[in-house]
């Protein structure tokens, strides 16, 4: 990998001036925190006494929150139901200075909620409320209309696919060519069901489990990783593939054939929830600020190292990111 470390701090310091569209499955992440002191007499399960509750932006909304935390302006497009959760979603977006004007009301679907019960800093169980069937043609048209409304203003599009029905093959077949025509950078956080429909995008960011699954080969070694990365890059005809590898860091595959290996910079790994959202948000924000793909990956890798040290879905501010990059790469 070429030495880019002398440039990344300057690029990170320039983040925060772009408009970025985030399209995908928006959801609420609820956390019920408590303690366990006994087992239920009704079944062999712990009884969690709840003493603290949190509601955070999840899914594509968490990606938008990461973009906003860096100072960029996110346009969030997704669906919400006509329910109390939609009201909470709008309130949270307002609190985080994110417009909810581009969300689409869909009376056929509930707003997705993921509820996690956490005891003594450990997740005990998760309960999901969702309707994961595909959006209707009518809703798809509204989404495309909202994309067209901002297409001439944005630097990039992030497709945040959680498999809840907003991202469909039909939508991708219309959206991606429109972005290519307008020279808009397109990044995808993928779901395996749609993986080979993300054709010709700028970057796809699967984790190593997802990448190995869709390629039909478990990644047990660097050789496996290279085979999988190169195959996916070729089949997608993409400009790059960024495979996140947990405690092993990341690997960025370029269309030119080059591979950048980035070891993790995390000091501790406490919770990986939402780390993928942070990676794609920071990567795209860095590109919008002038980074090349390698520089963007270095900056995103640093951000991932910050958020996995936090409990729950997290985001990193531009100030924290610059501070961490300075610690890592600026010579004293």
Active site residues: 277
Contacts of 165 (CB under 8 A, 6+ apart): 25, 109, 131, 132, 133, 134, 135
Q: What are the start-end ranges of the H helices in the chain?
A: 5-13, 60-69, 84-95, 137-150, 169-181, 208-215, 222-236, 275-288, 293-307, 318-329
Helix (H) / strand (E) element for 244: namely strand 240-244
Alpha carbon 123 to its chain's center: 21
Question: 122-137: string of b/e by CB count within 10 Å (b at 16+)?
Answer: eeeeeeebbeeeebee
Q: How many CB atoms lie under 10 A from the CB of residue 101? A: 11
Cα 208 from Cα 30, distance rounded (Å):
27
DSSP for residue 166? S
What radius of gyration do the chain's Cα atoms show? 20
Query: In this structure, what are the phi and psi dihedrals at residue 270, rounded to the nearest 5 degrees?
Result: -105, -40
Place of tokens 């069937």: 133
**Cα(first)–Cα(last) distance of the chain, in Å?**
23
Q: How many CB atoms lie under 10 A from the CB of residue 3? A: 8
Place of tokens 């997740």: 123
Q: Enumerate the β-bridge partners of residue 32.
A: 53, 117
Choose among 77, 277, 58: nearest CA to 157. Answer: 77
């Amino acid at each position: 990998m070429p030495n880019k470390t002398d440039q990344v701090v300057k690029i990170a310091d320039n983040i925060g001036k772009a408009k970025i569209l985030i399209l995908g499955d928006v959801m609420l992440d609820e956390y019920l925190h408590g303690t366990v002191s006994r087992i239920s007499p009704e079944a062999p399960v712990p009884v969690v006494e709840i003493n603290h509750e949190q509601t955070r932006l999840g899914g594509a909304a968490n990606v938008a929150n990461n973009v906003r935390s860096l100072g960029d302006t996110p346009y969030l497009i997704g669906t919400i139901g006509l329910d109390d959760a939609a009201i909470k979603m709008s309130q949270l977006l307002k609190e985080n200075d994110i417009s909810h004007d581009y969300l689409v009301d869909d009376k056929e679907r509930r707003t997705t909620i993921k509820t996690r019960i956490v005891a003594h800093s450990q997740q005990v169980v998760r309960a999901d409320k969702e309707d994961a069937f595909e959006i209707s043609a009518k809703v798809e048209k509204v989404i495309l209309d909202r994309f067209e409304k901002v297409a001439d203003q944005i630097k990039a599009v992030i497709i945040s696919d959680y498999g809840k029905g907003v991202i469909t093959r039909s939508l991708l077949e219309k959206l991606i060519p429109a972005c290519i025509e307008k020279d808009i950078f397109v990044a995808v956080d993928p779901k395996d069901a749609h993986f080979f429909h993300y054709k010709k995008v700028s970057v796809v960011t699967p984790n190593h489990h997802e990448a190995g699954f869709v390629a039909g080969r478990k990644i047990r070694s660097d050789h496996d990783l290279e085979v999988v990365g190169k195959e996916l890059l070729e089949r997608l005809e993409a400009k790059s593939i960024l495979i996140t590898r947990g405690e092993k860091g990341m690997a960025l595959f370029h269309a030119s054939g080059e591979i950048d290996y980035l070891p993790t910079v995390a000091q501790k790994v406490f919770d990986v929830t939402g780390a993928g959202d942070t990676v794609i948000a920071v990567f795209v924000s860095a590109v919008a600020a002038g980074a090349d793909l390698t520089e963007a990956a270095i900056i995103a890798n640093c951000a991932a190292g910050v958020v996995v040290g936090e409990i729950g879905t997290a985001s990193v501010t531009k100030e924290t990111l610059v501070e961490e990059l300075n610690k890592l790469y600026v010579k004293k």
